Protein backbone atom coordinates (compact mmCIF):
# COMPACT_ATOMS: atom_id res chain seq x y z
CA UNK A 1 0.00 0.00 0.00
CA UNK A 2 2.84 2.41 0.84
CA UNK A 3 4.47 1.93 -2.54
CA UNK A 4 1.15 2.35 -4.37
CA UNK A 5 0.52 5.64 -2.56
CA UNK A 6 4.15 6.73 -3.06
CA UNK A 7 4.20 6.05 -6.81
CA UNK A 8 0.78 7.70 -7.20
CA UNK A 9 1.97 10.83 -5.38
CA UNK A 10 5.14 11.08 -7.47
CA UNK A 11 3.15 10.51 -10.66
CA UNK A 12 0.71 13.30 -9.78
CA UNK A 13 3.62 15.64 -8.98
CA UNK A 14 5.14 14.66 -12.31
CA UNK A 15 1.94 15.55 -14.19
CA UNK A 16 1.57 18.82 -12.27
CA UNK A 17 5.11 20.03 -13.04
CA UNK A 18 4.81 19.25 -16.75
CA UNK A 19 1.31 20.75 -16.89
CA UNK A 20 2.59 24.04 -15.45
CA UNK A 21 5.72 23.93 -17.60
CA UNK A 22 3.63 23.48 -20.75
CA UNK A 23 1.61 26.61 -19.85
CA UNK A 24 4.62 28.91 -20.37
CA UNK A 25 4.12 31.04 -23.50
CA UNK A 26 7.47 30.24 -25.13
CA UNK A 27 6.59 26.52 -24.98
CA UNK A 28 3.30 26.79 -26.84
CA UNK A 29 4.44 25.41 -30.21
CA UNK A 30 3.25 21.93 -31.20
CA UNK A 31 6.82 20.65 -31.59
CA UNK A 32 7.71 21.86 -28.11
CA UNK A 33 4.61 20.25 -26.62
CA UNK A 34 5.49 16.93 -28.23
CA UNK A 35 8.98 17.26 -26.82
CA UNK A 36 7.61 17.97 -23.34
CA UNK A 37 5.27 15.00 -23.46
CA UNK A 38 8.08 12.73 -24.65
CA UNK A 39 10.43 14.01 -21.93
CA UNK A 40 7.73 13.55 -19.31
CA UNK A 41 7.06 9.95 -20.34
CA UNK A 42 10.78 9.09 -20.38
CA UNK A 43 11.34 10.60 -16.92
CA UNK A 44 8.30 8.84 -15.48
CA UNK A 45 9.46 5.50 -16.91
CA UNK A 46 12.95 6.18 -15.52
CA UNK A 47 11.49 6.79 -12.07
CA UNK A 48 9.32 3.66 -12.04
CA UNK A 49 11.99 1.42 -13.57
CA UNK A 50 14.65 2.68 -11.17
CA UNK A 51 12.33 2.18 -8.23
CA UNK A 52 11.21 -1.32 -9.19
CA UNK A 53 14.44 -2.67 -10.67
CA UNK A 54 17.17 -0.52 -9.13
CA UNK A 55 16.15 -1.46 -5.58
CA UNK A 56 17.19 -4.99 -4.80
CA UNK A 57 19.64 -5.49 -7.66
CA UNK A 58 23.39 -5.12 -7.66
CA UNK A 59 24.76 -4.22 -11.08
CA UNK A 60 26.04 -1.23 -13.03
CA UNK A 61 22.65 -0.96 -14.76
CA UNK A 62 20.68 -1.00 -11.51
CA UNK A 63 23.04 1.59 -10.01
CA UNK A 64 22.49 4.10 -12.81
CA UNK A 65 18.76 3.40 -12.99
CA UNK A 66 18.35 3.98 -9.26
CA UNK A 67 20.64 7.02 -9.29
CA UNK A 68 18.69 8.57 -12.15
CA UNK A 69 15.33 7.65 -10.66
CA UNK A 70 16.10 9.02 -7.19
CA UNK A 71 17.77 12.16 -8.52
CA UNK A 72 14.74 12.94 -10.64
CA UNK A 73 12.52 12.37 -7.59
CA UNK A 74 14.52 14.95 -5.63
CA UNK A 75 14.45 17.46 -8.48
CA UNK A 76 10.73 16.86 -8.93
CA UNK A 77 10.12 17.58 -5.24
CA UNK A 78 11.92 20.92 -5.44
CA UNK A 79 10.19 21.90 -8.69
CA UNK A 80 6.81 21.02 -7.20
CA UNK A 81 7.54 22.95 -4.00
CA UNK A 82 8.62 26.05 -5.94
CA UNK A 83 5.57 25.96 -8.20
CA UNK A 84 3.16 25.41 -5.31
CA UNK A 85 4.60 28.45 -3.53
CA UNK A 86 3.86 30.52 -6.64
CA UNK A 87 0.33 29.07 -6.74
CA UNK A 88 -0.16 30.16 -3.15
CA UNK A 89 1.18 33.69 -3.72
CA UNK A 90 -0.74 34.23 -6.96
CA UNK A 91 -3.97 32.49 -6.01
CA UNK A 92 -3.47 29.99 -8.82
CA UNK A 93 -2.96 32.84 -11.29
CA UNK A 94 -6.03 34.88 -10.34
CA UNK A 95 -4.32 37.59 -8.29
CA UNK A 96 -1.59 38.63 -10.71
CA UNK A 97 -2.64 37.35 -14.14
CA UNK A 98 -0.09 39.47 -16.00
CA UNK A 99 2.77 38.04 -13.91
CA UNK A 100 1.59 34.45 -13.64
CA UNK A 101 3.73 32.99 -16.40
CA UNK A 102 6.82 34.92 -15.33
CA UNK A 103 6.35 33.68 -11.77
CA UNK A 104 6.00 30.08 -12.95
CA UNK A 105 9.13 30.38 -15.06
CA UNK A 106 10.96 31.90 -12.09
CA UNK A 107 9.73 29.06 -9.85
CA UNK A 108 11.04 26.43 -12.27
CA UNK A 109 14.41 28.19 -12.45
CA UNK A 110 14.61 28.39 -8.64
CA UNK A 111 13.72 24.71 -8.36
CA UNK A 112 16.51 23.75 -10.75
CA UNK A 113 19.07 25.95 -8.96
CA UNK A 114 18.09 24.48 -5.59
CA UNK A 115 18.40 21.00 -7.11
CA UNK A 116 21.97 21.75 -8.15
CA UNK A 117 22.82 22.99 -4.65
CA UNK A 118 21.16 19.92 -3.09
CA UNK A 119 23.13 17.56 -5.34
CA UNK A 120 26.36 19.29 -4.37
CA UNK A 121 25.59 19.18 -0.65
CA UNK A 122 24.30 15.61 -0.80
CA UNK A 123 27.48 14.21 -2.31
CA UNK A 124 29.85 16.04 0.05
CA UNK A 125 31.40 14.18 2.97
CA UNK A 126 29.37 14.45 6.19
CA UNK A 127 30.62 16.98 8.71
CA UNK A 128 31.69 16.16 12.27
CA UNK A 129 29.60 17.91 14.92
CA UNK A 130 31.00 17.87 18.46
CA UNK A 131 29.01 17.70 21.68
CA UNK A 132 29.90 17.57 25.36
CA UNK A 133 27.42 15.82 27.65
CA UNK A 134 27.58 15.57 31.42
CA UNK A 135 26.29 12.29 32.84
CA UNK A 136 25.64 12.69 36.58
CA UNK A 137 26.39 9.04 37.39
CA UNK A 138 29.44 8.63 35.16
CA UNK A 139 32.51 7.68 37.24
CA UNK A 140 35.32 10.22 37.24
CA UNK A 141 37.60 7.58 35.72
CA UNK A 142 35.46 7.66 32.56
CA UNK A 143 35.45 11.44 32.25
CA UNK A 144 36.54 12.34 28.72
CA UNK A 145 35.26 9.14 27.10
CA UNK A 146 34.75 9.83 23.39
CA UNK A 147 31.80 8.35 21.52
CA UNK A 148 31.35 8.60 17.77
CA UNK A 149 27.76 8.07 16.64
CA UNK A 150 26.41 7.64 13.13
CA UNK A 151 22.93 6.91 11.86
CA UNK A 152 21.18 6.36 8.55
CA UNK A 153 24.18 5.40 6.43
CA UNK A 154 21.80 3.56 4.05
CA UNK A 155 24.52 1.36 2.61
CA UNK A 156 23.31 -0.30 -0.54
CA UNK A 157 23.24 0.21 -4.27
CA UNK A 158 24.08 3.93 -4.16
CA UNK A 159 26.31 4.13 -1.08
CA UNK A 160 28.82 1.29 -1.32
CA UNK A 161 32.05 0.17 0.32
CA UNK A 162 34.15 3.03 -1.08
CA UNK A 163 31.83 5.57 0.54
CA UNK A 164 31.81 3.53 3.77
CA UNK A 165 35.63 3.31 3.79
CA UNK A 166 35.81 7.11 3.63
CA UNK A 167 33.45 7.37 6.64
CA UNK A 168 35.55 4.86 8.59
CA UNK A 169 38.61 7.02 7.87
CA UNK A 170 36.75 10.03 9.30
CA UNK A 171 35.85 8.06 12.43
CA UNK A 172 39.44 6.91 12.97
CA UNK A 173 40.64 10.50 12.98
CA UNK A 174 38.39 11.15 16.01
CA UNK A 175 40.01 8.35 18.10
CA UNK A 176 36.76 7.15 19.67
CA UNK A 177 36.55 4.90 22.72
CA UNK A 178 33.15 3.68 21.54
CA UNK A 179 31.37 3.69 18.15
CA UNK A 180 27.58 3.66 18.03
CA UNK A 181 25.41 3.00 14.96
CA UNK A 182 21.87 4.22 15.49
CA UNK A 183 19.93 2.29 12.85
CA UNK A 184 19.33 2.23 9.08
CA UNK A 185 22.92 1.23 8.47
CA UNK A 186 21.86 -0.80 5.43
CA UNK A 187 19.23 0.39 2.98
CA UNK A 188 17.44 -2.94 3.29
CA UNK A 189 16.69 -3.52 -0.42
CA UNK A 190 18.13 -6.80 -1.62
CA UNK A 191 20.94 -8.82 -0.10
CA UNK A 192 23.69 -6.63 1.43
CA UNK A 193 26.93 -6.67 -0.55
CA UNK A 194 29.59 -8.95 0.96
CA UNK A 195 32.26 -6.37 0.12
CA UNK A 196 30.35 -3.75 2.11
CA UNK A 197 30.03 -6.09 5.09
CA UNK A 198 33.74 -6.82 4.93
CA UNK A 199 34.51 -3.09 4.86
CA UNK A 200 32.28 -2.56 7.89
CA UNK A 201 34.55 -4.91 9.84
CA UNK A 202 37.28 -2.27 9.62
CA UNK A 203 35.28 -0.01 11.94
CA UNK A 204 36.60 -0.50 15.46
CA UNK A 205 37.00 1.08 18.90
CA UNK A 206 38.40 -0.07 22.28
CA UNK A 207 34.89 -0.49 23.75
CA UNK A 208 33.52 -1.95 20.52
CA UNK A 209 31.06 -1.04 17.79
CA UNK A 210 27.48 -1.25 19.01
CA UNK A 211 24.16 -0.47 17.42
CA UNK A 212 20.44 -0.96 17.06
CA UNK A 213 18.34 -1.96 14.07
CA UNK A 214 16.33 0.68 12.26
CA UNK A 215 13.27 0.32 10.07
CA UNK A 216 15.37 -0.40 6.97
CA UNK A 217 17.10 -3.30 8.69
CA UNK A 218 13.68 -4.85 9.21
CA UNK A 219 12.67 -4.13 5.62
CA UNK A 220 15.72 -6.17 4.63
CA UNK A 221 14.85 -9.00 7.02
CA UNK A 222 17.16 -11.50 8.75
CA UNK A 223 19.83 -11.30 6.02
CA UNK A 224 20.32 -7.60 6.76
CA UNK A 225 20.52 -8.13 10.52
CA UNK A 226 23.06 -10.92 9.88
CA UNK A 227 25.12 -8.65 7.62
CA UNK A 228 25.39 -6.13 10.45
CA UNK A 229 26.49 -8.78 12.91
CA UNK A 230 28.94 -10.24 10.37
CA UNK A 231 30.29 -6.70 9.98
CA UNK A 232 31.25 -6.68 13.65
CA UNK A 233 28.35 -4.63 14.99
CA UNK A 234 27.04 -5.80 18.37
CA UNK A 235 23.31 -5.26 18.16
CA UNK A 236 21.19 -4.50 21.21
CA UNK A 237 17.82 -6.24 20.87
CA UNK A 238 15.71 -4.35 23.42
CA UNK A 239 18.46 -5.01 25.95
CA UNK A 240 21.45 -3.48 27.70
CA UNK A 241 25.18 -4.18 28.02
CA UNK A 242 27.81 -2.81 30.36
CA UNK A 243 30.66 -1.04 28.58
CA UNK A 244 32.66 -0.53 31.78
CA UNK A 245 31.65 -0.37 35.44
CA UNK A 246 29.56 2.77 35.70
CA UNK A 247 28.64 3.00 32.00
CA UNK A 248 25.69 1.06 30.56
CA UNK A 249 24.49 1.05 26.97
CA UNK A 250 20.90 0.06 26.14
CA UNK A 251 19.08 -0.19 22.84
CA UNK A 252 15.53 -0.59 21.56
CA UNK A 253 14.69 -1.92 18.11
CA UNK A 254 12.71 0.21 15.69
CA UNK A 255 10.08 -2.40 14.89
CA UNK A 256 8.77 -2.32 18.46
CA UNK A 257 7.38 1.16 17.76
CA UNK A 258 5.49 0.16 14.63
CA UNK A 259 4.07 3.43 13.24
CA UNK A 260 3.24 5.36 16.43
CA UNK A 261 5.28 6.00 19.56
CA UNK A 262 2.60 4.60 21.84
CA UNK A 263 3.01 1.21 20.14
CA UNK A 264 6.36 0.90 21.88
CA UNK A 265 5.23 2.10 25.27
CA UNK A 266 6.96 0.07 27.95
CA UNK A 267 9.73 -1.30 25.71
CA UNK A 268 12.30 1.13 27.12
CA UNK A 269 11.43 0.11 30.65
CA UNK A 270 11.90 -3.56 29.70
CA UNK A 271 15.16 -2.89 27.86
CA UNK A 272 16.62 -1.22 30.96
CA UNK A 273 15.35 -3.75 33.49
CA UNK A 274 18.02 -5.16 35.77
CA UNK A 275 20.82 -2.91 34.60
CA UNK A 276 23.67 -2.18 37.02
CA UNK A 277 24.18 1.21 38.60
CA UNK A 278 25.90 3.96 36.69
CA UNK A 279 25.27 6.24 33.72
CA UNK A 280 22.87 4.79 31.12
CA UNK A 281 22.92 5.71 27.43
CA UNK A 282 19.95 4.67 25.27
CA UNK A 283 19.99 4.04 21.52
CA UNK A 284 16.62 4.39 19.80
CA UNK A 285 16.50 4.76 16.02
CA UNK A 286 13.36 6.89 16.14
CA UNK A 287 13.43 9.86 18.52
CA UNK A 288 10.30 8.79 20.35
CA UNK A 289 9.41 8.13 24.00
CA UNK A 290 12.17 10.35 25.37
CA UNK A 291 9.95 11.03 28.39
CA UNK A 292 9.85 7.31 29.19
CA UNK A 293 13.63 7.11 28.84
CA UNK A 294 14.14 10.04 31.22
CA UNK A 295 11.70 8.54 33.72
CA UNK A 296 13.79 5.34 33.71
CA UNK A 297 16.98 7.17 34.61
CA UNK A 298 18.56 7.33 31.16
CA UNK A 299 21.15 10.10 31.14
CA UNK A 300 21.65 10.39 27.36
CA UNK A 301 19.45 9.29 24.46
CA UNK A 302 20.77 8.97 20.90
CA UNK A 303 18.50 8.76 17.86
CA UNK A 304 18.39 9.28 14.10
CA UNK A 305 15.80 8.44 11.42
CA UNK A 306 14.59 11.97 10.61
CA UNK A 307 17.48 13.02 8.29
CA UNK A 308 16.43 16.53 9.46
CA UNK A 309 14.05 16.34 6.50
CA UNK A 310 17.07 15.89 4.17
CA UNK A 311 15.71 18.19 1.46
CA UNK A 312 14.23 21.51 2.54
CA UNK A 313 11.31 22.28 2.86
CA UNK A 314 10.42 18.62 3.57
CA UNK A 315 11.72 19.15 7.12
CA UNK A 316 8.56 21.08 8.02
CA UNK A 317 6.44 17.99 7.30
CA UNK A 318 8.85 15.60 9.07
CA UNK A 319 8.86 17.81 12.16
CA UNK A 320 5.11 17.30 12.56
CA UNK A 321 5.76 13.59 13.19
CA UNK A 322 9.13 13.95 14.91
CA UNK A 323 9.33 17.12 17.02
CA UNK A 324 12.86 16.10 18.01
CA UNK A 325 14.04 16.68 14.46
CA UNK A 326 17.83 17.07 14.67
CA UNK A 327 20.48 18.33 17.03
CA UNK A 328 20.46 18.66 20.80
CA UNK A 329 17.37 18.72 23.00
CA UNK A 330 16.62 18.39 26.70
CA UNK A 331 13.63 16.29 27.76
CA UNK A 332 12.79 16.21 31.47
CA UNK A 333 16.41 17.05 32.24
CA UNK A 334 17.81 14.33 29.94
CA UNK A 335 19.89 15.36 26.90
CA UNK A 336 18.74 13.91 23.58
CA UNK A 337 20.97 13.99 20.51
CA UNK A 338 19.29 13.33 17.16
CA UNK A 339 21.69 12.67 14.29
CA UNK A 340 20.49 14.15 11.01
CA UNK A 341 21.90 11.15 9.13
CA UNK A 342 25.38 10.29 7.93
CA UNK A 343 24.20 9.15 4.51
CA UNK A 344 21.12 9.85 2.41
CA UNK A 345 17.95 7.97 1.59
CA UNK A 346 16.75 8.04 -2.00
CA UNK A 347 18.39 10.92 -3.88
CA UNK A 348 21.99 11.83 -3.09
CA UNK A 349 20.69 15.27 -2.22
CA UNK A 350 20.58 17.47 0.89
CA UNK A 351 19.26 20.99 1.36
CA UNK A 352 20.50 22.80 3.44
CA UNK A 353 22.18 20.75 6.17
CA UNK A 354 24.99 18.31 5.27
CA UNK A 355 25.28 14.74 6.54
CA UNK A 356 26.55 14.34 10.08
CA UNK A 357 28.90 12.29 12.23
CA UNK A 358 28.52 13.01 15.93
CA UNK A 359 31.52 13.21 18.26
CA UNK A 360 30.30 13.08 21.85
CA UNK A 361 32.63 13.68 24.80
CA UNK A 362 31.25 12.39 28.09
CA UNK A 363 31.83 14.36 31.28
CA UNK A 364 31.44 13.04 34.80
CA UNK A 365 29.00 14.64 37.18
CA UNK A 366 31.46 13.88 39.94
Q: How confident is the model at residue 258 (pLDDT cuts 50, 70, 90)?
A: low
Instruction: Note the pLDDT tens digit of each residue in 40-65.
Output: 999 999 999 998 888 778 889 999 99
> How many C-beta atoms surround the C-beta of residue 317 within 10 A?
9
Q: Are the C-beta atoms of 303 and 282 separated by less than 8 Å?
A: no
Has residue 110 got a pLDDT over 90? yes
Query: Range with the lowest mean pLDDT among 140-149, 165-174, 220-229?
Result: 220-229
The reported pLDDT for the residue numbered 254 is 80
User: Residue 161 and residue 14: Cα distance in Å, rounded?
Assistant: 33
DSSP 178-225: EEEEES--B--SSSPPHHHHHHHTT---TT-EEEE--HHHHHH-HHHH
Mode of pairing for the β-strands spanning 327-331 and 334-338: antiparallel
Cis peptide leading into 313, omega within 30 of 0? yes
Strands 300-303 and 334-338, how do they pair?
Answer: parallel
pLDDT value at residue 135: 97
pLDDT tens-place string over residues 311-335: 999 999 999 999 999 999 999 999 9
Tell me whether residue 50 is exposed, middle or buried, using C-beta atoms within 10 angstroms of its C-beta: 0 to 12, 13 to 18, 19 or more. buried
The radius of gyration computed from the CA coordinates of the chain, to the nearest angstrom, equals 23
Say how many Å lie between the first and final Cα of the chain, rounded. 53
Please tell me the predicted confidence (pLDDT) of residue 257: 67
Domains of the chain: 2-123 (no CATH), 127-364 (3.60.21.10)
**Mean pLDDT (the chain, rounded):** 93
Q: What is the pTM of this model?
A: 0.93
Q: Give the largest CA-CA distance in the chain.
A: 77
Amino acid sequence: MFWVIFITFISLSHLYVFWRTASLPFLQTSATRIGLVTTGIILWLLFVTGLLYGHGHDSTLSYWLEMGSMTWMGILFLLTSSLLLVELLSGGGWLFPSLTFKLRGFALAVGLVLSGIALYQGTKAPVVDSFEVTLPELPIALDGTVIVAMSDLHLGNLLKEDWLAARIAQVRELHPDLVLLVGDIFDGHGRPRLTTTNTLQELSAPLGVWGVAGNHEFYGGPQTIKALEDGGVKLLHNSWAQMKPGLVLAGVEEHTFNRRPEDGSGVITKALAGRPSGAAILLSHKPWLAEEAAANGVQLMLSGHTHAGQIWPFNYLVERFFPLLAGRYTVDGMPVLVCRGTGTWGPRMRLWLPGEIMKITLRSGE
